[in-house]
Amino acid sequence: MASAAEQLASSLSLGVFSKATELKNRIWFTLGALIVYRIGTYVPVPGVDASVMGEMLSQHGGGILGMFDMFTGGALRRMTVFALNIMPYISASIIIQLMTAAVPSLETLKKEGESGRKRLNQYTRYLTVLIALIQSYGIAVGLESMHGSFGAAVIDPGWFFRFSCVITLVGGTMFLMWLGEQITARGVGNGISLIIFAGIVANLPNALASLLELGRTGALSPVFILVFIVLAVAVIAFIVFMERAQRRIVVQYPKRQVGQRMFGGDSTHMPLKINTSGVIPPIFASSLLLIPATISGFTQNGPGWLAFIGAQLGHGTPAYMALYAGMIIFFSYFYTAVVFNPEETADNLKKYGGFVPGIRPGSNTADYFDYVLTRLTTIGALYLVLVCLLPEILINSYGLPFYFGGTSLLIIVSVTMDTVTQIQSHLLAHQYEGLIRKAKVKGRR
């Protein structure tokens, strides 16, 4: 069987893409929506001197604000209407997903099908508004206390500024949430992921220019830059390999007779990805670890213990590396346990008559799934640790830009692969519809 890339190349060579009008319209819609998003990242919040925020991020860019600024494509640094980006929606989605495993009523909604998913999506939107309100108010209050070399960050502080700032930032987040849903429905899919992807990729040219500037000034040798580029390509190839890697468990369905006809007897497989948790563990781990360093960096006269913790958890320190690796491993197991339930999967197989050859249906099948998934998660967690720690070492040792971190590489590669898969699905569906139309025309003749 040809690979996905070979099938896509074959479809393109047959001229299917040139005839796929719907797919071209979807691609143009997606590009237009992303352009609108990028324009919004330059529309400033009223009453804010963005240069002060940029100065503060330059001084404390290694903290959690630097990571959020990377996800927002520089919108936080410029203090624009999309400064919160889509991050409140991501946080709300993760919280709702975790709660479905702990709250029975939400778990019941998850099993109700389309109607249940719509209600869960509605709860996610409500929680997004709440999180955006809290974060935007915190930003508004924080801006009022910021002063840089150019003066105060807020021109006219007070409750009117706080109200207008909260309304602007929450409105920007809700617009991006709507825009992401439109890309998913009318574009090539993965709307929310593409918005984050566009934010990260938009600043990669500046990060590359900063890297070349370090080579021009002599801070980095040309040989090191060349080795770094080769290493980055190798890491990307490794990420692609690991993200596509999966364990295929054979599932057999017995034959059954209905009237005079025999049905079933087919054999299929259940694919289990090595990295089931995706990019969630690195995002969770880095967010939690960067909070103490960020608070201590912005607190001038804080307690001594807070400054000590912030110094110990700085980028590249042994404590930071050890905790980062440990938290990635923990969240890999935790999130995998949330998104994949071995007992529920085994019960569904038993309900429809499926079974794993050599394994008894029911609890034995669930134990087998748990056994396989535990070992796959171990490999996936170690893979995430390797991909995330290597860039951290390079950033700390050689002063490379923050955008070359492992989390950003994982997001870029994962979203690119998902988008290519979506485009391929549209191409194959168009080709299939064309074959059906041809068959109908021949049948009429």
pLDDT, tens digit (0-9, with 9 covering 90-100), for 51-95: 887 777 776 655 667 777 777 888 888 889 998 888 889 888 888
Quote the CA–CA distance of 210 and 204 in Å, as a whole number.
10
- DSSP calls for 335-399: HHHHH--HHHHHHHHHHTT-B-TTS-TTHHHHHHHHHHHHHHHHHHHHHHHHHHHHHHHHHHHH-
Tell me which architecture the domain covering 221-433 has in CATH.
Orthogonal Bundle (1.10)
pLDDT range class, residue 200, cuts 50, 70, 90: confident
Mean predicted confidence (pLDDT) in 289-301: 62
At residue 217, φ and ψ (nearest 5 deg) are -80, -5
191 has a pLDDT exceeding 70: yes
Residue 410's nearest CA partner among 266, 255, 238 is 238
- Tell me 48's DSSP state: B
Q: Is the pLDDT of residue 330 over 60?
A: yes
Give the pLDDT band of residue 4 (cuts 50, 70, 90).
very low
Segment 226-263, tens digit of pLDDT: 888 888 888 889 999 998 888 888 888 776 656 666 65
Cα(329)–Cα(374) distance, integer angstroms: 12
- Categorize the per-residue pLDDT at 433 as very low, low, confident or very high, splitting at 50, 70 and 90: low
pTM of the model: 0.80
Residues 403 and 202: their CA atoms lie apart, in Å, by 10
What tokens does 153 get?
């960050």
Q: Please, what is the average pLDDT of the chain?
A: 80
- The percentage of the chain sitting over the pLDDT mark of 70, rounded to a whole number, equals 80
Lowest mean pLDDT among 131-145, 296-310, 340-354, 416-430: 296-310
Strands 255-258 and 261-264: antiparallel
Q: What is the DSSP letter of 269?
A: E
Mean pLDDT of 26-34: 92
Angle at which helices 114-144 and 87-100 pack, to 10 degrees?
130
Helices (H), 245-362: 280-298, 304-312, 318-339, 342-351
CATH 1.10.260.40 fits 22-202, yes or no: no
Q: What residue ranges do the domains of the chain occupy?
A: 22-202, 221-433
Residues near 303 by Cβ (< 8 Å), separated by ≥ 6? none
Reported residue count of the chain is: 445
- Mean pLDDT is lowest, of 119-128, 254-263, 319-328, for 254-263
Q: What would the two tokens of residue 61 be?
A: 């860019």
Query: Does 221-433 match 22-202 at the fold level?
Result: yes
Give me 94's structure tokens.
Answer: 């993760």
Decide if pLDDT at 300 tops 60.
Answer: no
